[in-house]
Amino acid sequence: MFSVESLPDTGTDRGVRADWQRLIDAGLPSAGRHPSESNRPHVTLAVRDDLPTDAVRELARVGGALPVECRLGGAVVFAAGERFVLARPLVMSAALLRLHADIVDLVGPPPVRYAVTAKDRWTPHITLARRMTAEQVGRALDIVGAAGIEGELTGLRLWDAEAKAVTPLR
């Protein structure tokens, strides 16, 4: 499995990591608990089982559209089975939608299991925590609050889940 991810600027990264740390300090699940060097705040643009052979080179070209304004809103919650994902959504902009559409055009439409990355189903966000119970979500919402974060998406990378490797594209 491969995912194409956009990375925020330093200030936005710092703001998200502060959310991660507040959740850790409260004894809650947090994306900040994942010790891998590749773990950093990001926006997933596409997920696919494989990529066309020329996609990596072309993805780097599309990355030339960066930076793109990045305005994170208050917390949002997604159902994930019997648990929940806590995230900060990105406010949609024409530039953000264009970047996503360009990426999807390059890698092709997603299979059903990755349909949430399709042009008409994508909800851009940066994950704060996964596998939360309803009670934990209630506590977490009080901790991270509604204040948003403003900055830019400045980087682009490819995550190869099988190889557990990151390829910077921009």
pLDDT tens string 103-134 = 999 999 999 999 999 998 999 999 999 999 99
d(CA 123, CA 91): 10
pLDDT tens readout for residues 25-34:
999 999 999 9
pLDDT of residue 157: 96
pLDDT tens readout for residues 60-107:
888 888 999 999 999 999 999 999 999 999 999 999 999 999 999 999
SS3 39: coil
For residue 106, what are its two tokens?
């390059």
- Contacts by 90-97, CB closer than 8 A, 24 or more apart: 90/43, 90/124, 90/125, 90/126, 91/148, 92/124, 93/68, 93/69, 95/65, 95/68, 95/69, 96/68, 96/69, 96/70, 96/124, 96/153
State the burial class of residue 4 (Cβ atoms within 10 Å of its Cβ: 0-12, 13-18, 19+). buried
Q: Cβ(158)–Cβ(169) under 8 Å?
A: yes
Residue with tokens 């559409």: 101
